Structure 1
Amino acid sequence: MSQPSSLDPLFDSALSRSLDEHDRNLWRAIREQAIGGKRFRPRLLLSVYRALGGTDELSAGFVADAVELFHTTFVIHDDVIDGDQLRRGKPNVTGTFSARAIAAGAPQAQAHRYGETAGILAGDLALAGAMRNIAMCGAKPDVMSRLLDLVDLVLHRSAAGELADVRVSFTGADLSDVLDIAAWKTSAYSFELPMQAAAILAEADEHVISDLGQAGRDVGIAFQLLDDLDGVFASPDQTGKDPLSDLREGKFTALMVFARSTSQWDDLSPYVGRADLTLAEAGRARTLLTESGARDSVLALAGDYRRSALASAARLPGDASDVVTAAIDQILGTQASAHGVAS
C-alpha cells in the first residue's frame, strides 16, 4: 500500500459507492495500477514546487496525485492500444479482466474484448479522478485556470502522440516525425506537466515556466531515444521487456530512421518486423545497427538533447536549477551511463 495521500479518499469513496462486485474489482484494479509505480512524476512536481518557494503542501499534493492519475490513465490506455496484458510482469487491467472472463467460461475472443472494455473504462475513470483532484486542490481561480489550460494542452498532445505512434507503423516516418512523437507522447505528461504545474502553483515568473517546459521537452526526447535503444540492445534484466519485441514489431524509432539511410539497410531490413525473429537473427540485426552507425547517431542525438535540457535547467533560479539538474541526471543517469552519453 502506498503512503497516505489524496488518492486514498478518492479510491475509498469510489469503492464505498460501487454498484456490484465487478465495479469494485474495476476500482481495485485502477488503485493497484495507480499505486504500483515509482511515483517519480509526483515527486518531481513537489521537489520543483518547493525549490521555487511553494509552501502550500496540501494543494501541491492534490495536483501531484492528479499527475500520477494522468500517468495511470495513459498506461492503462496504452496497454489496450498495444494489446498488452501484462504490466511490470503482472496482469494489467486488460489481462486481469480477460482472465476473469475466461474463468467465468467466456471464449477467448469474448474474454479479450471484456478485458479491453475494462481497460478503456478504467483509463476513463482515472482521467476523471485526475481532473477531480485538480478541481479540489484549492488553488486560486487564476492559478486554477492556468493549471487547466496546461492539462488541456498536455492531453491534446498526448493523444496526438499516441495516434501518430500507431500511424507511423504503416505510413513510415522521418526523424522530425519521430522526435515530435517523443515530445508529444513522452515529454508532455511525464516531464513538462509536473514541472510546469509546479511553477504555476508556485506562481513563478513566465520565463521560469518556459525554461521548465523546454527542459522537460528535451529530457523527455532524450529519455525516449535512449529507451528505444534499450528496447533493442538492453537485456531483459535491465528493461523487464522481451529483447526481441521491438525488432519483431518493426517499431518505427529514430534508430530505424537512421538505419534506413545507410548502406546496411538492405541487409538489415529482412530482420525488422519479423514476428518469428530468432535470438541469433536479432544478434545479427544489432550488429548491423551498430556497424551502420545508426546506434551512434541516436546516442549523439540523445546527448544533444540532454545537454539542451541541462542548459535550460541552468537558467532557472537558485534551488530550482539544482533540483532540475539533479532530476535530469537521475532520469537519464542509468541509461546515459550504460550507453556512454556524455553531459
Structure 2
Amino acid sequence: MPLLDGQAPHLDRAVDALVESALQRLIDRSRGRARPIVAAAVQTATGGKRFRPRLVLESYLAFSGGPLPSRAVADIAAGFELLHTAFVIHDDVIDQDVVRRGKPNVSGIFRERAESAGAAPHEATLLGDAASILAGDILLYEATRLIATAPVPAARRDGLLDLLDQAILTSAAGELADVEYAVLPGPPAPDAVMAAARDKTAVYSFSAPLQAGALLAGCNGSAQQALAAAGESLGLAFQLVDDLIGAFGTVRQAGRPPGSDLRERKETVLIALARLGDDWSAVEKALVSAGDGESGLIAAQDALEASGVRTQVERLIDLTLATAKKQWSRAALPEAAKTTLTGLARAIQGRVP
C-alpha cells in the first residue's frame, strides 16, 4: 500500500512532475561515460512511492495554507526523493541485492552487461557494485545541490542544510549499525536493533521532509520539535512494518523475493525479540534452513509465527503509532498538519502484511 496513495491526486501529479523534472535536468547534464550510470540511477528513481517529496509538499501546504508551492519548494522536495534513491542504491550494494521493485537494480543492470560481454561472475559483481556506488554518489550530490541552491532566504537555507546533514549522518550511522549486528559475534539487544532501525529510516524519510516543508512555510520553534518527534515515531513504525514484510510479505509488498530477510539471516527487531522467547531454539533451527528453497522458508515463517513474535511486533507497531498520535494531538500544530500525520499513521498500519 503506497503511503498517502490517492488522498490528493493533484499532489500526486505535482510530485511526479517535480521529480521527473529534476531527473530530466540530471539526464540533460550527463555526457559520455556518465550517461549509462545516470540512466541506471534514473531508472531506480522511477516508479517508487515518492512519499518523501509528498511529505515536503503536504507539510508546506499545512503550515502556509497557500497554493501549490514555488519552484524552490519543488526542488527541495525533489532533493529528498533523490536522497532516498541514493540511499536505496547504496543499500542494495550493502545487501548484495540485484533486484529492486521486481526488476534489475543498478548492480543488476551492470552485472548483466558485464556477463554478456564475457566477464567472469566475480568481475561482473565488481562492476555492478562500482556502478551502484557511483550512481548513488551522483544522486547524493544532486540532492545536495538542489537543496543548497534553492532560491530561499539564507536563514531558511541554513536550516534546510542542517536537516540534510542530520538526515545523512543519522541514516549512515543506522545503516552501519545494521551491518555490524549482522556480522559481529554476539546477538544484539532488541533495543539496539530498534534504535538502528529507527536511525536508518526515521529522520531522512519522515522527520526531515516534514520539518523542511514547515521551515519553507516560515515555521520554527516548537512545531519543528513536534514534527521531529512525530517523524521519529512514524519512521520506527514504518521500519518495523518493513521487518514484517521482509519476513512474511509478498513479492509485490517487498519488491524482491519473499522472505529475503530470513534467507539472508538479517538481524531485524523481529529476530532480536525471537531470541528472547522460550521457543528460540526451534526458531533458530528453522532459520538455518530458510535459504533452502520454498519449504525451508515456510518452515522458518511457521516457526516465527508459532513463537508469537510476529504478533509481538504487530503490537509494538500499534503502540508506537498510538504514542505518536498522542504526541502530535497535544502539539500546537495546524489541523492540516495533524491530518497529514494521521494519514501517515493509517497508511503505515495498512502496510502490515
Please, what TM-score do these two structures have when normalized by structure 1? Answer: 0.90
Q: Are 1:239 and 2:254 matched, yes or no?
A: yes
Q: Residues 244 and 277 of structure 1 are in contact (CA less than 8 Å); yes or no, is this contact kept in structure 2?
A: no
Residue 137 (structure 1) aligns with: 150
Question: Which of residues 298, 304, 318 is equivalent to 1:283?
Answer: 298
Residue 50 (structure 1) aligns with: 61
C-alpha displacement at 1:159, in angstroms? 0.5
C-alpha separation between the residues in 2 aligned to 1:283 and 1:34?
32
C-alpha separation between the residues in 2 aligned to 1:62 and 1:49?
13
Residue 23 (structure 1) aligns with: 34
The change in CA–CA distance for 1:105 and 1:285 in structure 2 (over 3 A counts) is closer
Q: Which amino acid aligns with 2:44?
A: Q
The change in CA–CA distance for 1:4 and 1:235 in structure 2 (over 3 A counts) is closer
C-alpha separation between the residues in 1 aligned to 2:113 and 2:30?
18
SS in 1 for 2:312: helix
Q: Which has the higher contact order (CA 8 A, sep 6+)?
A: 2
C-alpha separation between the residues in 1 aligned to 2:252 and 2:154?
47
Q: Which amino acid aligns with 1:140?
A: P
C-alpha displacement at 1:94, in angstroms? 1.0
The change in CA–CA distance for 1:34 and 1:234 in structure 2 (over 3 A counts) is closer
Q: Residues 107 and 128 of structure 2 are in contact (CA less than 8 Å); yes or no, is this contact kept in structure 1?
A: yes
Q: Which amino acid aligns with 1:293?
A: G
Residue 102 (structure 1) aligns with: 115
Question: Which of residues 129, 136, 141 is equivalent to 1:116?
Answer: 129
SS in 1 for 2:305: helix
C-alpha displacement at 1:170, in angstroms? 2.3
Q: How does 1:144-155 map to 2 (within 5 A)?
A: 144-155=157-168
SS in 2 for 1:272: helix
Residue 270 (structure 1) aligns with: 285
Question: Which of residues 201, 207, 224 is equivalent to 1:186?
Answer: 201
Unaligned runs of 5+ in 1: 339-343
C-alpha separation between the residues in 1 aligned to 2:142 and 2:305?
45
Q: Residues 11 and 27 of structure 1 are in contact (CA less than 8 Å); yes or no, is this contact kept in structure 2?
A: no
Deviations 1:220-248 (A, max 9, x none): 11111122122222333443432232222
Moved more, 112-121 or 309-318: 309-318
Q: Which amino acid aligns with 2:60?
A: Y
Residue 333 (structure 1) aligns with: 350
Q: Residues 100 and 256 of structure 2 are in contact (CA less than 8 Å); yes or no, is this contact kept in structure 1?
A: no
Residue 44 (structure 2) aligns with: 33
Please, what TM-score do these two structures have when normalized by structure 2? Answer: 0.88
Residue 3 (structure 2) aligns with: none
Deviations 1:259-303 (A, max 9, x none): 111221111211224464343343333333233222222111111
Q: Residues 240 and 317 of structure 2 are in contact (CA less than 8 Å); yes or no, is this contact kept in structure 1?
A: yes
Q: Are 1:225 and 2:225 matched, yes or no?
A: no
Q: Which amino acid aligns with 1:243?
A: P
Q: Which amino acid aligns with 1:303?
A: D
C-alpha separation between the residues in 2 aligned to 1:234 and 1:131?
33
C-alpha separation between the residues in 1 aligned to 2:263 and 2:301?
13
Q: Which amino acid aligns with 1:246?
A: D
Aligned length: 334
Residue 202 (structure 1) aligns with: 217
Question: Which of residues 296, 319, 330 is equivalent to 2:336?
Answer: 319
Deviations 1:154-173 (A, max 9, x none): 10011111111111012331
Moved more, 274-283 or 185-194: 274-283
Moved more, 127-136 or 229-238: 229-238
C-alpha separation between the residues in 2 aligned to 1:246 and 1:327?
25
Residue 166 (structure 1) aligns with: 179
Moved more, 87-96 or 311-320: 311-320
SS in 1 for 2:351: helix
Moved more, 296-305 or 158-167: 296-305
Question: Which of residues 94, 117, 142 is equivalent to 1:81?
Answer: 94
Q: Residues 241 and 351 of structure 2 are in contact (CA less than 8 Å); yes or no, is this contact kept in structure 1?
A: no
Dislocated runs of 4+, deviation >6 Å: none
* Percent of pairs with identical residues: 39
C-alpha displacement at 1:64, in angstroms? 0.2
* Structural RMSD (CA): 2.1
Q: Which amino acid aligns with 2:258?
A: P
C-alpha separation between the residues in 1 aligned to 2:50 and 2:19?
14
